[in-house]
Amino acid sequence: MTQYSRRSLLKGAALPALGTFALPTLAAAIQTNSSPQQRPRMKITDIRTAQVNVHGPQTHVRVYTDSGLYGQGESTDAAVGTASLVRSFRRILIGQDPLNVEALWERVRVSGIFAGAQGGQYITALTGIEIALWDLAGKILGLPVYQLLGGKFRDKVRIYCDSDMDDPLGPESDKKLPWIKSKGFTAMKIDLDEAKDPARFDSVNWTASNGEIDRMVKWVAHVRESIPKEMDLACDMHGRYDAPTGKKVAKALEPFRLLWLEEPVPPEDIDAMADIRHSTSTPICCGENLYMRWGYTELLQKQAADIIMPDIQKVGGLSEAKKIANMAQAYYIPFAPHCVVSPIGQMASAHVCAAVPNFLVCEWHWINHVDLWTTFVKEGEIIVNGYITVTDKPGIGVEMDEDAAKKAQIKGTPWFEPNL
C-alpha cells in the first residue's frame, strides 16, 4: 500500500490519490480555492436587509463582496428591529475576509457583551449574518454548506408539519389533516394553548382549570384518531402555563404516546422544566427561545428536556446550532429544530440537520402560506413526501425569487438597498 508523508499529502499531485480517504470534491476545492497563494482575496463590501411578514416577521440578510458574489441568510421571531442592528455591524465586518466565518461571528458577539446583548434581537441579527456568511463561503469554495460543516450523516432530512390550527375539532381540521397525510409527512404538531378558552378563570394567570385540560385532551384524542397510527404527533403549549399545569397536562397525555410536549412552562426556569420532565413519561421538548450554546448548558446538565429544539434562524446560526446539537449528543438528547421561515432558512436548517448524528425531525410552519412557499425560491418546492433532500449546490443551494418574495415585504422597509 502506498505510504504518504505529510509533505506529499500537501502537494497537488497527491490529491487525486486521496479519493479513497477524503471526498474528492472537498480535496479539489481546498487545493483550488483555499491555498493561501491561490484563494481569491475577497472582502466584504456591504451588508443589506429585506424584511417580510409571513409567519411573523423575518429579516433576510445579504453579505456582499468585491467579487460580485453575495451570501444570503435569514433570521426570525425577534427579527423586528434587527435590520438596524445588522447595519450597525457593518463597521466590524466591511473589509474583512468572508471566509473567516466563526472569527467574524465572535467579533460581533463579543462587541455586544457590555450592552447585555447575548440573546434576543442582537443574536437574532447576528444569526442572519452568520447564515449569509456560510452561504457565501460555500459559493466561494464551490461546496454545499453541509460539507463545510463536516459532511452529512443523511441525504434526506425528515420534516414535520405544524398544522397551525385555531381549532383542531372544526372545519379547519377536516381540511388540513387529510392534506398533511397526502403530502407524505410522517409527523405533525398541534397547539394546545387557547387564550379564549371559556373554562379559563383569569385573563392573566395561565393556571389551567380542569375544563381547560379536558379540552386539550379532547383535541389530542381527535387528532390522534384522525391521522395514521404510524404518524407522530407533537403538541405545543408555547411556554404560557405554570408548573402545576405542565405536570397535569403531561400526565393526562401519556396514553397518546406523543412525539413530545413542547414548552409546558417558559424556558427561564430550568428547574421547573426538569421537575415536569421527571414527573412524566411524555417526552418534554424545549429550546426555541434559548440563545447560543450557553443557553443550553444548564438545560442539558440538569436533564430538563428529552428533546431540544433550537431555532436555527435565531440561536446564533448554523455553526452554533451544530455545536448545540453536539452538546446534546453527549447527553443522548435528540435535536429537532424549530423552524418557521422561508425555503431559504428551511434549507439552511436542513444542512445542519444533515450534518449532526442526533437529528430527529425539523419543523415546517408555512401550511397557511403554501402558494408563497412554493414560489419563494427559484427552485420551487423543496419538501417532497415529507423530506428535504439536501442540495449539493454551492452554499445553501436555493436562491430567492424576488418577485414572489416581495409580495410579503413589510411596508416601508428597504429591499436590499445599498447602505450609504
Please tell me the total count of domains within the chain: 1
Query: What is the structure's pLDDT at 288?
Result: 95
Report the chain's C-alpha Rg in angstroms.
22
Amino acid at 314: K
Residue 243 lies in a domain: yes
Question: Does residue 65 fall inside a structural domain?
Answer: no
| Span between the terminal Cα atoms of the chain, in Å | 60
The amino acid present at 327, given as its one-letter code, is M
Question: Amino acid identity, residue 123?
Answer: I
- How are strands ordered across the β-sheet holding 70-76? 44-54, 56-65, 70-76
Looking at residue 35, its pLDDT comes to 57
The sign one gets for the Cα dihedral 281, 327, 265, 316 is negative
Looking at residue 235, what is its pLDDT?
Answer: 98
- Does some domain include residue 70? no
Pairwise CA distance, residues 21 & 4, whole Å: 12
Query: What's the CA gap between 235 and 263, in Å, rounded?
Result: 9
- What DSSP character marks residue 55? S
- Cell triple for residue 291? 440563545
In angstroms, rounded to a whole number, what is the distance separating the alpha carbons of residues 17 and 22? 9
Please indicate, yes or no, if residue 75 is contained in any of the structural domains: no
Q: What is the pLDDT of residue 317?
A: 97
Residue 113 is predicted with a pLDDT of: 86
Q: Is residue 387 part of a domain?
A: yes
**What predicted TM-score, i.e. pTM, was given to this entire model?**
0.90
> Cell digits for 222?
381527535
What pLDDT score was predicted for residue 41? 79
Grid coordinates representing 384?
417532497
Residues β-bridged to residue 71: 63
Closest CA to 359 of 312, 393, 394: 312
* 148 vs 143: CA distance, rounded Å: 7
Please write down the HEC assignment for all residues of 215-241: HHHHHHHHHHHHCCCCCEEEEECCCCC
Domain of 247, in residue numbers: 148-401
Walking along the chain (420 residues) 10 residues at a time, the average pLDDT comes out as: 36 35 50 57 94 94 96 87 91 96 96 83 95 97 97 98 95 96 98 95 94 98 97 97 97 98 93 97 96 96 97 97 98 98 98 98 97 98 98 98 97 89
Annotate 362-401 with b (16+ C-beta within 10 A) or e (fewer).
bbbbbbeeeebbebbbeeeebbeebbbebbebbbbbbebe
CA pair distance 331, 205, nearest whole angstrom: 34
Any domain includes 141: no
What is the domain-level CATH number for residue 235?
3.20.20.120
- Let me know: does 339 contact 312? Beta carbons within 8 Å: yes
3-state secondary structure of 341: coil
By C-alpha distance, which of 330, 321, 306, 394 is closest to 353?
A: 321
Which residues are paired to 285 by β-bridges? 262, 307
In a domain, 68, yes or no: no
Is 115 within a domain? no
- Sort strands 387-389 and 383-384 into parallel, antiparallel or unpaired: antiparallel
